[in-house]
Amino acid sequence: MPARSTPSRRTLLTATAAAASAVLVSPPAHAATPAAHAGTRDRLRRLISRMSLEEKVGQLFVMRVYGHSATSPDQADIDANLSEIGVRTAAELIERYHVGGIIYFAWAHNTRDPHQIADLSNGIQQAGLAKPTPIPLLVSTDQEHGIVARVGKPATLVPGAMALGAGGSRSDAREAARIAGAELAAMGIVQNYAPVADVNVNPANPVIGVRSFGADPQAVAGLVAAQVRGYQGAGIAATSKHFPGHGDTKDDSHFALPTIHHTREQWLELDAPPFRAAIAAGIDSIMTAHIVVPALDPSEDPATLSRPILTGILREELGYDGVVVTDSLGMAGVREKYGDDRVPVLALKAGCDQLLNPPSLSIAWNAVLQAVRNGELTEERIEESIMRILLLKSKLGLFRDPFVSHRDVDRTVGKRSHLAAADRIAGETTTLLANENGLLPLSRRTHRNVLVVGADPASPSGTTGPPTTTLAGAFTELGFTATALSTGITPTAAKIDEAVAAAAGKDVVIVGTYNVSATSPQRTLVSRLAATGVPVVTVAIRNPYDIAQLTGTGFAASVAAYSWTDVELRAAVRAIAGRSEPEGRLPVPVQRADDPTQVLYPIGYGLRY
């Protein structure tokens, strides 16, 4: 990657942050003495007293913005910003609305490559510190890893949550988060919306699934705490989500308002432990869920807007006094009951501090402003949230120096030791669920010619191409002769015929499966291939529940990889080829497809060679 000319951190700080330094010089991150903490609060109170009401309201918002640059994005991104936000650039967004944070997305063209991300982060911080009341910003993203990652290669992509759950190692989970956190920090991203603390007890969950560490609350709690310590030990803020627990739903809160039917006792047993563990580990921020839990709030308001849940339970019962951030306010789950002008006001009244990504910033910002002016929200209530937000910025060292450099990027992002650690950790996660007649591990002497077919979901960051291509490439690197044929998530009859024809003369067929249902043509694909007499190995490239729907199709062996990112698919191939043991154990139970009361494969199941 060609180096770009970037001002040094000291030059940027001197040029734009002198005023901020005069207002507040933060103590070192994680300052331990009560006197230092009290001194920080006093300085922050003086800073807050200088802020206009508009500036105070702006600090509550974390907003998306299109473009790779804070001041000179591409014209298409300028047009998108004008259409959605009414500004041209990130710098104009900060100047007009005084936002306290910006969230990065790949689809918003914020994350082209690590040097560009660092430059964007620096430009955002320059814009924040150039204001009359200079305040650095919290730059955030969703870098969960696995199937949700906003920053791709050459950054290190570590295994996702359920894969880590299959590995079962808290030290590996902590190390994965430390690596991920260090690389985000080098690019100027200081708040990560991870780890997921939801306990996935519903195989039909369309929105969490492998984003969860598993179905055992205590195991999930241990891994959540480990990742909190890993991220925050690397100098960024971790965010456990989605409170009070999104693991038992059949609806996606992006598109609907799910209801969780747990009793209060079930919530305490199933959903609460990971959040308790995160709080005990010192979590910096907690994200809300757009879900209804009648047992916790009979009004049936979504949790994001529920004072009984956020203030009564999270603040008062669990004793949490850190930053509470909403899930995206553009999601249908939070917009279904109230209008876009009421949602941010109700979220603040419920106990939220940060208002994430409203569909219309103008409507949301003006609604909060008006609510303060008419007395529905007091200025004191707003300042409570601002203090939490500014304390976090101080803890992260942003008042001291918010800038990063290309040198930081080059010596941290995607470095060899990080990549090696990611491969090692992934090697502990692959789970072997079935192995008829000892087919696996494959030998190049008896199963040299490999056909790889299967699903090709949209690629998350961290993939070099369709899963079939990645799997075939990994076999080739190990000395096999491998051919890839993408048949898709819903293979047509013609594609199935093509795959059957391609299997002729092959020694083994690998089928990548993706969320197989009772009516999925993926079942037909597997059964038709098995009928050729060529042994079939299925690789679940997302949820491990696929094997329940494939029972009776004739496959010879089955593996769960938990994601279709390169690091997890390469690990699966190494296990299939006998270059490593399949060390993973199921972190969720797999029930029979025709009778969910019967468990086919319990938590902890996993075969060895």
pLDDT at res. 521: 97
**What is residue 42's three-state secondary structure?**
helix
CATH tag for 430-601 (out of 3.30.1360.10, 3.40.50.1700, 3.40.140.10, 2.40.50.100): 3.40.50.1700
Specify the 3-state DSSP secondary structure of 183.
Answer: helix
Q: Which residues of the chain have pLDDT under 50?
A: 1-33
Q: How many CB atoms lie within 10 A of CB 305?
A: 27
- For position 252, what pLDDT does the model report? 81
Instruction: Write down the pLDDT at residue 460.
Output: 60
Q: Give Cα separations from 439 to 8, 105, 499 (angstroms).
A: 57, 43, 21
Write the DSSP symbol of residue 503: T
- Look at strands 431-435 and 481-486 and give their pairing: unpaired
Measure the CA–CA gap between 391 and 179, rounded to whole angstroms: 25
Which tokens belong to 291? 């879900």
Q: Where are the domains of the chain?
A: 9-196+223-243+280-292+302-412, 430-601
| Alpha helices (runs of H) in 359-492, residue ranges in sequence order | 361-373, 379-395, 406-412, 416-426, 467-477
pLDDT at 29: 39
For residue 191, give Cα distances in angstroms to 207, 396, 608. Answer: 22, 9, 39
Positions marked active-site? 254, 327
Q: What are phi and psi of 605, to 5 degrees?
A: -75, 145
pLDDT at residue 250, as a whole number: 84
Q: pLDDT value at position 256?
A: 85
Q: What's domain 9-196+223-243+280-292+302-412's architecture?
A: Alpha-Beta Barrel (3.20)
Phi, psi (deg, nearest 5) at residue 310: -80, -40
518, amino acid identity = A
- Read off the pTM: 0.93
Whole-angstrom Cα distance, residue 71 to residue 92? 8
pLDDT score of 11: 43
Q: What six digits make up the tokens of 103?
A: 């969230």
**Confidence at residue 108, expressed as pLDDT on a 0 to 100 scale:** 97
pLDDT in tens, 314-370: 999 999 999 999 999 999 989 999 999 999 999 999 999 999 999 999 999 999 999
In sequence order, what DSSP letters do the residues of 274-330 get, joined into one string? HHHHHHHTT-SEEEE---B-TTT-TT---GGG-HIIIIIIIIIIS---SEEEPSPTT
Cα dist from 602 to 480, 582, 588, 605, whole Å: 33, 17, 7, 6
Q: Facing residues of 243 across strands?
A: 288
- Please give the structure tokens belonging to residue 430: 């692959």
| pLDDT, position 464 | 67
Distances (CA, A) of 313 to 200, 264, 350, 451: 21, 11, 11, 53
